[in-house]
Amino acid sequence: MQDFSKLYIDGAWVAPESSETIEVVNASTEQVMGSVPAGTAGDVDKAVAAAKAAFEGWAQTSPQDRAKYVQALSEGIGARNQEIAETITGEVGMPIFLSQLIQAGLPQAVSGSYPAIAEEYVWEEEIGNSLVVKEPVGVVGAITPWNYPLHQIVAKVAPALVAGCTVVLKPSEVAPLNAFLLAEIIDGIGLPAGVFNLVSGTGPVVGEAIASHPDVDMVSFTGSTRAGTRVAELGAPTVKRVALELGGKSANILLPDLDGEELEKAARAAVGSAYLNSGQTCTAFTRLLVPADKHDQIVDILVDEVNKTYTIGDPATGAGFLGPVISDVQRDRVRGFIQQGIDEGATLAVGGPEQPEDLPTGYYVKPTVFAGVRNDMTIAQEEIFGPVLSVIPYDDVDDAVAIANDTVYGLSGGVWGADKEGAKAVARRVRTGQLEVNGGSFNPLAPFGGYKRSGNGRELGKFGLEEFLQTKSLQL
């Protein structure tokens, strides 16, 4: 059991205003694995006051000195990789071997990238008779999700600290334990009091208090589009900066020139692109767009790949490639979408809404593939956040691009083609913030963020740093 009874405010572990707690449930055992305080608006007031008081001194510290703390943070995450991975495997359900690489490894890499970025960044430049300088935006409220909980925290906290901002963090109440491990690391590196503060709690209480607080200069939010619009609404009266990383319904286009081994490689990779973290990924390529005359051939490959590779099992032992989804609510939601796909006439190629026979306990969902999906079906339009892949046939490349763009989202996507230049040309036509061409690997230095209702702003690399900076001109 990991029970945390205090919040981290102004450089110390302090008692919350309320004695209420939030229980954290292990996704595979359905047993309580820990608890955290249910923070209040009063706790947020204290944390914001601490961050505001610490801001001027922290902002005047050099970027290079601020980056040294972030480097120490990266090293601290690395030293506790196994503990962090085990905690997030319990909270979220990702298999332990993937949690070590992704849930713990990626935050270490992202935070470790910022010292070099800070060193290379142009913090000021002369333009004519003006000196243009970059300054921190101020007190930042960071509100983060549960699917990649520590990564999403670090993607905000690390650049915000390097920029010279102070931070009040509200982690997801569904997977908050890892945030307390991070606070322990931060407490150990000697960061000045008030620069980082942690208040756990629910969105309607703690999240709304942060988003509406008059002394919070910026809110960086990752989560659902519905919640993101609420954050923007609450931030509007104080005209604070609001950065939103929201939902997605990303398309993965297999172009007509693919054939033979190239087609098979692209089709098999498409399953992994949809199923990572049991599909609980905002960038998941959940719509697979395929040439109509190759639809059945591709579906056969997908079914074979699911049956061969995407076994489900206890994530703590790495018994399967897929673990459970995070909660009973999410499991029931995903199963409801699967049933809706069946009811709307899509062909169930593999999977289904039933509990796996050999796993009666845990929030497991069968990896599911639907064939013959129309883009106006619910399963092709709404973010499911589970291991569900919809195969949509198209007539020609123009039709494929039109289908890919026929969504309110624009976060990510992929294009596969035998001619890489042709694939790049198609990728340029898809209105999303990030695309993989022929399976190009994730780059933690490249900008991440969305078009349309997938949000605004960018995270990671120098682009993530710039989100937390203001631009000032001094006329000389």
The token pair that represents 5 in the structure block? 């009874």
Helix (H, G, I), strand (E, B) or coil at 471: strand
- Exposure string of 288-325, with b = 16+ CB inside 10 Å and e = fewer, is bbbbeebbeebbebbbebbeeebebbbbbebebbbbbb
Q: Is 124 exposed, middle or buried (0-12, 13-18, 19+ CB in 10 A)?
A: exposed
* Strand duo 455-456 + 241-245: pairing: antiparallel
Tell me the CA end-to-end span of the chain in Å, nearest whole number.
60
Residue 435 sits at φ, ψ, to 5 deg, of -135, 145
Q: Which regions of 379-468 does DSSP assign to beta strands (E)?
A: 388-394, 413-416, 436-437, 455-456
- The set of catalytic residues is 245, 282
Q: Cβ–Cβ contacts within 10 Å for residue 381, how many?
A: 15
The token pair that represents 429 in the structure block? 């036509």
| Nearest Cα residue to 403 out of 370, 374, 428 | 374
Show the 3-state SS of 125-141. Answer: EEECCEEEEEEECCEEE
Cβ neighbours of residue 43 closer than 8 Å, sequence gap 6 or more: 7, 9, 16, 17, 37, 199, 201, 206
Judge whether 466 and 424 are in contact, CB under 8 Å: no
Q: Is 352 exposed, middle or buried (0-12, 13-18, 19+ CB in 10 A)?
A: middle
DSSP letter string, 25-70: E-TTT-SEEEEEE---HHHHHHHHHHHHHHHHHHHTS-HHHHHHHH
Q: Which residues pair with 458 in a beta bridge?
A: none
